[in-house]
Structure 1
């Protein structure tokens, strides 16, 4: 089994995209990327925009040879979008998906906005999207809906993915944020060697006060039951999150690391650094207007 993480906050932009190859199968999970529209009261810095473009290019390149595409839920950093802002992966950029099998979060327990996005993606593709929770075939299975973060807080649900090849098991647990013990126990019951998950949103701790303590206990439980635990996404939108990650890693014998480290790269927490980036490399607001109109050649300066 080959696991390639394509995008994550430790790569500089919001994403949880990965590609998994098993035998003759290539499974692309959550092919999306986005940037926080505002952080510290600031629009995305061009360095972040460049990182999002690199991730977008990696995702699009991985469509070649893909046999299966998984959409765990309908947030803009997890799926191709009908263009809502210039930083996401637009559906119009997708190559042909003829012959590719889709596995998708169903319409149950999602917001009105997510339901609209699901319909828009279905319309663009030209066929109805399946409701894949609880289904699967040939080494790939999907969970029933599990909480997007804290249970019963109104954040909706997501779908987790289990991929197996022989004795190797990989779980993509999407935006669980380690905030629901039942979900963590379900992952453990799948007996994975490697788990890729969103850690808790510590940067929103004023909204989710239980995020650090409860998630820490769940992270320890999960880490002690898998060989490798990859935590990223919401967690690494702050420097506090990276320190939290290293604290978990220091309390277990198994491997706990972020997505960039798993891929042999240095973490780039660009969203967390947005204020610092503007201080070091000031950018006029007009730059964003020019970029949105397609009048700025970002590649010339940053890629």
Structure 2
């Protein structure tokens, strides 16, 4: 099994996009990325837009190779929308290239929160006559020759009852090994995420980390303690060969301080042999060391498409 990161916070953008190849299939997990419109009171730095362009170029090269796509949920950084977006780096018709002729395994948009449901329905309608097949994948097990795809039932996006809804995790298993992909479980913070992880006990686990940048606001110390305990359980009981912690946790520079003791983790960047490039976490620093000027900042004042530090509702 071959695994290649496409986009993620350690690569400069909000994303968890992965390319996975087995003898039987080529699939992209969560073909999307975004930049948060406002962080530290500032719009994205030019370096972030450069990273977003790099993500889009890399994604467009890979979509020609794949027959399958997976969409875990409908937050803006996990799918390519059917319209142009500055903060997602898309042109008006990019989605046709991404989805055209593909089999799309997608989270059921009926079991998400209202804003995700609107996006899911909009994407589904745009896919009519474009995709090869649209499959609501929640809870399904699908065999493609000797490769097995195990889709979880809906897992809370973080804490149970969170207004941010639900996601679907995915295990990919073939005779060479296994991958568990658990996006946006935020630590994890739910028993559903733990249960799915321990039912698979994959060789490689890719998991969305705790949103330390929201500690003291949307999350409390007890949430962090639970996230650390649960991640330790996955490490000690699941015994993965490689544990990749990604996404929300890497929105702070000192993210390793929020990990439990004794757990060895990697990042998307380290899988590629690169150093972490935490551009969003460094946004304020970038403005201090590479100031793009007041005119640059002013042109974003009427364009912000989301709330301070969040575009994931």
Q: Name the TM-score, length of structure 1 as normaliser.
A: 0.88
Task: Determine the C-alpha separation between the residues in 2 that align with 1:260 and 1:98.
Answer: 29
Map 1:1-303; keep pairs closer than 5 Å: 1-83=1-83, 85-90=85-90, 92-94=93-95, 95=97, 97-127=99-129, 129-138=134-143, 139-166=148-175, 168-177=177-186, 178-206=188-216, 207-209=218-220, 210-224=222-236, 225=238, 226-245=240-259, 248=260, 251-252=262-263, 255-287=264-296
Q: Can you list the C-alpha shifts for 1:117-139, whole angstroms capped at 9, x where unaligned?
A: 11221222225843210113121
Task: Determine the C-alpha separation between the residues in 2 that align with 1:34 and 1:285.
Answer: 23
Aligned length: 287
Distance 1:96 1:6, change over 3 A: closer
Q: Can you list the C-alpha shifts for 1:22-66, whole angstroms capped at 9, x where unaligned?
A: 013101110001011111100000011111111111111110121
Question: Residues 202 and 240 of structure 1 are in contact (CA less than 8 Å); yes or no, is this contact kept in structure 2?
Answer: no
Larger mean Cα displacement after TM superposition, 87-96 or 166-175: 87-96
Q: Name the TM-score, length of structure 2 as normaliser.
A: 0.86
Distance 1:283 1:195, change over 3 A: same
Structure showing greater relative contact order (alpha-carbon pairs closer than 8 Å, 6 or more residues apart): 2
Question: Residues 26 and 65 of structure 1 are in contact (CA less than 8 Å); yes or no, is this contact kept in structure 2?
Answer: yes
Larger mean Cα displacement after TM superposition, 95-104 or 141-150: 95-104
Q: CA deviation at 1:230?
A: 0.3
The gaps in structure 2 that reach 5 residues or longer are 302-313
Q: How big is the alpha-carbon RMSD for the aligned residues of Structure 1 and Structure 2?
A: 2.1
Task: Determine the C-alpha separation between the residues in 2 that align with 1:57 and 1:288.
Answer: 25
The gaps in structure 1 that reach 5 residues or longer are 293-303
Q: CA deviation at 1:11?
A: 0.5
